[in-house]
Amino acid sequence: MPGFNTDAILLRKIEYGDHDFIISFLTQSKGKVSVMAKNAKKSIKRFSGALDLFSLNHIYCTFPKKNKDALIILAQTDLENPFANIRCDVFKTAYACYWMELILFWLEEDKAQPDVYALLLFSLDALNTDILSKEVVSLVFQIRFMSLSGFSPNIETCGTCKTPVDSIDQNTFWFDFQDGRMMCQNCVQKRSKYGMTVSKGTLKQLFWINNNDIGRAERIKFSHFAVTEGARLLEAFIAFHLGREFKTLQFLNRLRQEK
């Protein structure tokens, strides 16, 4: 029976009827795909322990025989990494779920996105193994996801006078959400209500994260202020740009407030 097999990260699982699941994966070779896992609630042999959120699996799929518009059938899964340490920490789980929601909302179905897949796999592994703090991993994921998706903010130069950040003798800048760019104090005339003030140090650290080997990020010391301010900037800009309030981000913010 014709089909395909590939490594895949589980993004979402929805109950369908009494025994089935509709599952969304981000796959290494085919991008985001939705599949039907028939009798998944009862089939221990085929799916045991492999259908947990953000687990890494090697999946085997077949195409429907009769109805070409029907969902692809998930025939079997081999669990490669459950990322179990993430599920033991409510903060880590909240971050990972936020990334899943971003990918589900933004990426098209059946369009290969190998760079996004590699980014998500790196981020989940870093979150699971603590090679980076969860806050820094989320900065890495968000700014690189924006860059790969084509809506990366301009944080290198003033959007008006084009002067590089390093050449501007100012400690704070205005970031405009509508234009997706920052402006120096000399060029800001009328501020949009959609934006925020950002420090030079935060902009420089975000620029470094976006333009250097992410494998080297563990060697860099990120200031607590820059990480916190960077998170505020990226999370607010993404929500504004996509025109969506992410439920997972709302939950993450409630956890931060309680902490």
**Are residues 137 and 95 part of one domain?**
yes
**Are residues 102 and 46 part of one domain?**
no
pLDDT band at 44 (very low <50, low <70, confident <90, very high): low
pLDDT tens readout for residues 60-112: 999 988 777 789 999 999 999 999 999 999 999 999 999 999 999 999 999 99
Q: Could you give the CA distance from residue 76 to residue 235 in angstroms, rounded to a whole number?
A: 36
Q: Could you give the CA distance from residue 259 to residue 244 in angstroms, rounded to a whole number?
A: 25
Domain boundary among 82, 115, 132: 82
**Are residues 109 and 73 part of one domain?**
no
Cα–Cα separations (whole angstroms), residue 70 to 21, 73, 110, 119: 14, 9, 14, 30
**Are residues 120 and 24 part of one domain?**
no
* Structural domain boundaries enclosing 59: 3-82
Q: Residue 142: which CATH number?
A: 1.20.1440.120
**Are residues 98 and 18 part of one domain?**
no
Instruction: Please give the tally of structural domains in the chain.
Output: 2
pLDDT band at 213 (very low <50, low <70, confident <90, very high): confident
- Asked if pLDDT for residue 219 goes beyond 80, the answer is no
**Are residues 192 and 212 part of one domain?**
yes
Choice between 200 and 44, residue whose per-residue pLDDT is larger: 200
Of 235, 175, 180, nearest to 200 (Cα)?
A: 175
**Are residues 153 and 132 part of one domain?**
yes
**Are residues 96 and 77 part of one domain?**
no
Q: Residue 12: which CATH number?
A: 2.40.50.140
**Are residues 214 and 169 part of one domain?**
yes
**Are residues 113 and 206 part of one domain?**
yes
**Are residues 146 and 162 part of one domain?**
yes
Domain boundary among 82, 102, 128: 82
pLDDT of residue 192: 74
**Are residues 98 and 78 part of one domain?**
no
pLDDT band at 227 (very low <50, low <70, confident <90, very high): very high
Strand partners, 167: none
User: Are 89 and 32 spatial neighbours (Cβ–Cβ below 8 Å)?
Assistant: no
